[in-house]
Amino acid sequence: MAEKTPLLATRLARSVSADFAEMALADISEGKTALDERCDFLLTKLDAFIQIISIVGNNTEFLSMNLPKVEAARESLKEVYAQIDQLDALVSEVKSSVQSMEQKVEEAEKQFTTSYQMKFFKVLQSALGAQGDNSNQYRRQIRFEPPEIFKTEDFFPKERSQNECHPR
């Protein structure tokens, strides 16, 4: 057994040294090329990121200079927003007034049609010689009562001049 141990150690040493020599002489150029390409790609991405950070920094200065102008423009638009709200209210009021007028017209048409038909039947009765009640029981006093409609002054006071409504 004593003889086998040095022999085993020698074989193991030769095997390890052969493996080590093979690893030392291995061609790593292919792996190195892929690693170099990956590093170049990452450096390109890092450069693009630095450029974006630089642009954002420049835009921060731009925004800090122009933000007060934007805020002032927004403040000046508040009057326009108020006018738009007034126009919206006016449109709603006009819609309501138109519906009311349409309802009055429909009522008048019904009354006129009924009154017209009564007159027509009376004419037919008198032409045919039928004795009818000559009283005015079928006559109706048709009186138009205009509905209350909107006034534009309620939405746009007269003291405003045309120039104030359209700032330039």
Model confidence pLDDT, tens digit, residues 11-37:
888 888 888 778 777 777 777 888 888
Residues contacting residue 93 through CB under 8 Å, at least 6 positions apart: 150, 154, 155
* Cβ-based neighbours of 163, under 8 Å, separated by 6 or more: none
Each residue's pLDDT tens digit, 109-150: 777 776 667 777 777 777 776 554 544 444 456 677 777 777
**pTM for this one?**
0.41
And the tokens for 60? 């921060």
53-62, 73-82, 129-138: which has the minimum mean pLDDT? 129-138
2/127 Cα distance (integer angstroms): 155
